Amino acid sequence: MDSKWKYHAEFTVRGYEADFRNRAAVHTFCYYMEEAAGQHAEKLGVSMDNLRNEGVAWVLTRMYVESYDFPQTGQKVYVTTWPPGVDKLQFRRDFELRGEDGGILAKAISQWVVVNLTTRKLERITYDGLSPEEPEYVLEEPRWRIPPQSENPELLQVNVRLSDIDQNNHVNNVHYIEWVTESSPYALDPDKRLASVEILFKAEAKHKDIISVRGGAGEAGGEFCHGLFRVDGTELVRARTIWK
């Protein structure tokens, strides 16, 4: 892939972004990726504001992150992102994160759709800047098959705060990843690290919603499955985390 398709952004891990180990967490990476994607979309002319003026919006449907190392407070994170292409109504965006020594910190895949803000139905848009002739993929896509968790026990309950809401007036996607990882029994284990998170977004949550996070152990060692539900039973998110 020609380098012109790729966008580069630089971030510094702030103290308030580090976890109890004084290292950036996976959700910190996700905030950096979200910001880099937004900057690149603006450069390409398909930013949230550009689409909103046309009565449509980007909606994240799937995300998969593999993480290998976590920088400490004060260290740099270099994010490279690019759009490998379009599959029907799904727009894929890939990410690669590197540290100050050039080593890979994480790789990620995201899948997006365009939704009409009035009808809430999917829209088809055509833009050559999102479909390179020779696409490059940072990772193979995962299975995207996560079992339902409605019958599993509640691990965490969340009251959606105003600070959880983004410019589209619903919960920012990264907060779901925070709640998913917090609900895992491995989250506080000093001998475990989050190796990957796979997440499917099914419905949106609003201010003052009460969210139940349910889950249970998966089929493989270190695997845990998660489900987020509103109190009315609406399924919001399914996720799988792998801890090593």
The answer to the question of residue 115 being in a domain is: yes
Give me the pLDDT at residue 4, please: 67
**The dihedral of CA 60, 63, 65, 70: what is its sign?**
positive
Domain shared by 162 and 123, yes or no? no
The answer to the question of residue 31 being in a domain is: yes
Domain that holds residue 13: 3-130
Q: Please write the tens of the pLDDT for every residue from 155-176.
A: 999 999 999 999 888 999 999 9
| Amino acid occupying residue 68 | Y
Decide if pLDDT at 130 tops 80: no
Domain shared by 19 and 124, yes or no? yes
**The dihedral of CA 98, 99, 103, 108: what is its sign?**
negative
Find where tokens 């905030």 sit: 31
The answer to the question of residue 149 being in a domain is: no
Domain shared by 103 and 188, yes or no? no
Looking up residue 31, the CATH number of its domain turns out to be: 3.10.129.10
Binned at pLDDT 50, 70 and 90, residue 126 comes out as confident
Query: How many domains does the chain fold into?
Result: 2
Closest-CA residue to 108 (of 198, 184, 24, 171): 198
Q: Please write the tens of the pLDDT for every residue from 26-77.
A: 999 999 999 999 999 999 888 888 888 889 989 999 999 999 999 999 999 9
Long-range contacts of the stretch 13-21 (C-beta < 8 A, 24+): 13/71, 13/72, 13/73, 13/74, 13/75, 13/76, 13/77, 14/73, 15/73, 17/73, 18/72, 18/73, 21/70, 21/190
